[in-house]
Amino acid sequence: MDRAIVEVIRGDRVESLHRVHAVVHDGASVVEAWGDPARVTYPRSSCKMMQALPLVESGAADAAGLTDAHLALACASHQGDAVHTDMVAAWLAAEGLSDDDLRCGAHEPYGTAARDALIRAGEAPCQIHNNCSGKHAGFLTLNRRLGGGADYVGIDHPVQRAVRAAFEEVCEEESVGWAVDGCSAPNFAVSLEGFGRGLARFARAGTDARGTAMRRLRDAMAGHPVMVAGEGRACTGLMRAMDGVAVKTGAEAVFAAILPDANGGPGLGIAVKVEDGATRAAEAVIAALLVRHGALDAAHPEAVRLTKGPITNRRGIVTGGYRVTL
C-alpha cells in the first residue's frame, strides 16, 4: 500500500518528506491502512494505557484510592510541571515510597518553567521529573499488591509479566521481542495492525472486568488531558479539541488514538508510525486521521496547527507549512 506522506514546505518547494505507516482498526479488521500494516515496531509510550491495565484490573488502583487524574498520569508522558510532579510525589508518599524507589531515572523537566525553577534553585532534577514517573508510580502501586522485588522493571518481574500478558491479550498478538525503553521498562514489539486492534478494543470496551478497566483508563486520559502531557503538547491540545477521544504519543514518532464513537459507530483504534522517527509527521498524520474519521474539526486551531502549520522563523515570518497526503 502507498504510505501516508507528510511534506514540509519552505516557500514553494518541498524541503523535507516523511513516509508514514498507519492503520485504522475496528477491532475485527483493518478499516483502512497506509504502508505496511504488518510492520513490527515498538509502540514506546503510546501504549501506556495498555501498560496500566494490570494496575486497574488487579484492584491495586482502587485499593490505593487512585482518582481518574492519577490514572491519566499513569498513562502520561508529562512535562514535569508542578501539576505532574506534585501528584507523583504525593502518590508515592501515600504508598510509603519515595523518589528513590523509582527506576525510571532523572532528566530535566520538559516544561521550561519547571526546568528554569530548578536551575534558579540550584537543584538537580529528581526521578519524579522524568516524563514517565506516573507510569512508574503505577508500577510501584501494582508491585505492592503483587509482592515483587524492588527492581520492578526487570523482564521477569511479576509487574512486567502482568504488563506483557495484558498487552498481548489486548492486541491479540504474541510479541516477537522486547527492548528497554527510555525509562528502563520493557517495551514489547507488535505489528501496527495488532496495536491498532488493541486500541480498538479500548474504544469498544465491554462491561466485563477488562472492559471496565479499559474504559476507566481511556476516559481518564480524555478527561484529564493536561495530566497526560502538558500545556503546548499535541496530546493535550488534541484531547481538549475533541469529546471523549484519547490520544497518546510515543518516542520515535509513534502515535495512538482511541475513538469510542467514530462517525456514530462503535469505535476505532488508530496506530501511526513514521519511518524516520519525526514527531512532527506523526502529529500531522494523527490529526489528519482524527479529522478524516469525524473526531476532530478540520477548522479547529489545533488541527490546523498540526496538519498545515504555519512554520515561522525567529522573527515570526511565515516560511512554510505542512501538507499531509493520505
> Is residue 94 scored above 70 in pLDDT?
yes
**How much is the pLDDT for 266?**
81
- Read off the pLDDT of each residue in 100-107 and give the average, rounded to a whole number: 98
Q: Supply the CATH number for residue 148's domain.
A: 3.40.710
137-185 residue pLDDT tens: 999 999 999 999 999 999 999 999 999 999 999 999 999 999 999 999 9
Query: Percentage of the chain with pLDDT > 70?
Result: 99
11-60 residue pLDDT tens: 999 999 999 999 999 999 999 999 999 999 999 999 999 999 999 999 99
Per the structure block, which three cell numbers stand in for 211? 472492559
More confident residue, 263 or 109: 109
Domain that holds residue 64: 4-325
Specify the pTM. Answer: 0.97
What's the number of domains the chain is made of? 1
> Is residue 134 scored above 70 in pLDDT?
yes
179-222 residue pLDDT tens: 999 999 999 999 999 999 999 999 999 999 999 999 999 999 99
Give the whole-angstrom CA distance, residue 226 versus residue 68: 12
- pLDDT bracket for residue 1 (50, 70, 90): low
**How much is the pLDDT for 265?**
74
Give the whole-angstrom CA distance, residue 323 versus residue 255: 18
Query: Percentage of the chain with pLDDT > 90?
Result: 97
Q: Which of 179, 173, 207 lies closest to 191, judged by CA?
A: 173
- pLDDT bracket for residue 2 (50, 70, 90): confident
- Read off the pLDDT of each residue in 84-101 and give the average, rounded to a whole number: 98
- Read off the pLDDT of each residue in 126-131 and give the average, rounded to a whole number: 98
**How much is the pLDDT for 103?**
98
> Is residue 72 scored above 90 in pLDDT?
yes
Q: What is 204-268 written as a DSSP string? A: T--SSHHHHHHHHHHHHHHH-HHHHS-TT-HHHHHHHHSSS-EEEEETTTEEEEEETTGGGSS-E
